[in-house]
Amino acid sequence: MDLIIRNAHIVGERGLKDIGVEGSKIAKIGKIAGKAHNAIDAKGMLVSPAFIDPHIHLDKCMIGDAIRPNVSGTLQEAIEIIWDTKRKYTVADIVKRAGGVIKLAAMNGTTRMRTHADVDTIGGLTPVKGLLAVKKKFKNIMDIQVVAFPQEGILRDPGTEELMRKAMELGADLVGGMPHHERPYSEARPHIDICFKIAKEFGADIDMHVDETDDPASRSLKYLAEKTVKEGYQGRVTAGHTCALAAYPDDYAREVIRKVKLANINMITNPVTNLVIQGREDKQPIRRGITRVKELLAAGVNVSFGQDCVNDAFYPFGKADMLEVANISAHAAQLSMPDEIETVFKMMTENAARTLRVLDDYGIAVGKRADLVIIDAASPKDAIRRQPDRRYVIKGGKILAESQSLRKLR
């Protein structure tokens, strides 16, 4: 064996086991005799498949201290604030900022990410070029999927449709979308149609920002679900944010969730940003601005959550730690029962792997890629509660990071 992790408390299992790794794959689980080139004694610590962040904006990350603050706190102001900065983006500057966040995320136990890259007539193709350079440069640290994301809309920003095609030609992995940003809302449908057209031209999957607003009149999710079925894209479409689903009347929301399930759409909620950026026009009580997480889960929909933003115009905090995101998401979605907390843990592992369509090579089982995180915790709940040291992060069978904090009470 190249690596043996001894005395591992594997998430979801009882007792302690050894995990043997050969090359990049898990080769054996159980009691393993003999020596290995490398050995880690997990001493009963929690061992999980490495985390996955399925929704982040690496092109925008870490510009927060160089721009003016978001006074209204709204999504619209955030979008406008970054226009000047976006015009000046360079590939080198994106690689530097995103690279810092990727290293942090890796040390926090994440080895796979899906990032959006703005595609519009302001920044042109620089964000996509930057994040494709990031994907290449940091490939030993992080597996990255890049989404060509029309942040400013497609119809209201003429020229974007062709830029989207160019982004796909450059090597973007998925087609993004921002249908609710079109004006009037009725333009959301042609926006979605264009996204499917481009996706089909390139044989690509789709991951859209959908109804990221508290406005119950923003109703593109239902059409997206219908279009997904019509185009035979079941399982290949992801919808992020979908805040308006929470603002819909209950009976309409139920109908939409039924259609989402039928279309096998992967849903990503981003409570970290949306708790801060939604509900800004509400007087008390202020809505939480996140989607109907519990109802989606109860309907059997695949739901995960993302960091979304790290220190940008949309959200001033963020440390690229999925355990922090899990903690905030559990609060926001009121997932507090023991089984619900287990589900929260699954949302950043198994569920996110399903969204990224990497489940075949993901998890702790023989033959799967050895992407693992050893957490100094007794259980998933303990990990989410304390966000303790990720003692070891392993990617493709190699030890990628180690952490051990020193704390002393005198």
The residue (of 153 and 363) whose beta carbon lies closer to Zn ion is 153
Q: How far apart are CA 339 and CA 328, in angstroms?
A: 17
Q: How far apart, in whole angstroms, are the C-alpha atoms of residue 137 and residue 125?
A: 18
CA-wise closest residue to 57 among 310, 354, 353: 310
Q: Which stretch binds Zn ion (CB under 5 A): 24-32, 275-283, 303-311, 349-357?
A: 303-311
3-class SS of residue 77: helix
Part of the chain binding Zn ion (CB under 5 A), chosen from 29-37, 134-142, 304-312, 386-394: 304-312
- Residue 308 beta carbon to Zn ion: minimum distance, rounded to whole angstroms: 5
Q: Which residue, 157 or 308, is less far from Zn ion as judged by CB?
A: 308
Please identify, using beta-carbon distances, which residue of 118 and 308 lies nearer to Zn ion: 308
For the bound state, the minimum distance from the C-beta of residue 90 to Zn ion, rounded and expressed in Å, comes to 22
Choose between 75 and 335: whose C-beta lies nearer to Zn ion.
Answer: 75
Distant-in-sequence, close-in-space partners of 69: CB < 8 Å, separation ≥ 6: none
Rounded CA-CA distance 106/257 in Å is 34
Interface region with Zn ion, contact rule CB under 5 A, candidates 153-161, 292-300, 301-309, 324-332: 301-309
Tokens describing residue 335: 């997932």
- Give the residue carrying structure tokens 């290949």: 236
* Cα–Cα dist 35/15, whole Å: 22
Judging by DSSP bridges, how do beta strands 372-375 and 46-49 pair with one another?
antiparallel
Span from 24-32, 122-130, 155-163, 308-316 in contact with Zn ion (CB under 5 A):
308-316
- Smallest gap, in angstroms, from Cβ of residue 84 to Zn ion? 20
Burial of 289 (0-12, 13-18, 19+ CB in 10 A): buried
Q: Which residue has the tokens 């920003």?
A: 157
Cβ distance to Zn ion smaller for residue 114 or 259? 114
Q: Which residues pair with 143 in a beta bridge?
A: 112
Distance CA 61, CA 294 (A): 29
Query: Could you say which residues in the range 83-112 bind Zn ion, by CB under 5 A?
Result: none
Rank residues 324 and 342 by Cβ distance to Zn ion and give the closer one: 324
139 φ, ψ to 5°? Answer: -65, -25
SS (H, E, C) 322-370: HHHHHHHHHHHCCCCCHHHHHHHHHHCCHHHHHHCCCHHHCCCCCCCEC
- One character per residue 253-292, x = contact with Zn ion (rule: CB under 5 A): ----------------------------------------
Sheet arrangement for strand 51-56:
51-56, 110-118, 143-149, 174-177, 205-210, 237-241, 266-269, 303-305
Among the candidate windows 30-38, 89-97, 300-308, 354-362, which touches Zn ion by CB under 5 A?
300-308
CB of 274 to Zn ion, least distance (A): 9
Closest CA to 303 of 326, 276, 331, 273: 326
Active site (annotated) includes residue 169:
no
The minimum distance between CB 240 and Zn ion, in angstroms, equals 6
Cis amide linkage into residue 380, ω under 30° from 0: no
Exactly one of 13, 212, 340, 402 is catalytic; name it. Answer: 212
Q: For Zn ion, how many residues bind (rule: CB under 5 A)?
A: 1
**Cβ 115 to Zn ion shortest distance, Å:** 10
Q: Report the nearest approach of Zn ion to the CB of residue 408 (Å).
A: 40
Residue 48 or 145 having the CB closest to Zn ion: 145
For Zn ion, give the closer residue by CB, 143 or 212. 212
Nearest approach in angstroms of CB 140 to Zn ion is: 26
Cα 288 from Cα 371, distance rounded (Å) = 34
When CB distances to Zn ion are compared, the closest residue is: 308
Please identify, among the stretches 29-37, 230-238, 306-314, 332-340, the one whose residues bind Zn ion according to the rule CB under 5 A. 306-314
Active-site residue list:
212
Q: Which residues bind Zn ion (CB under 5 A)?
A: 308
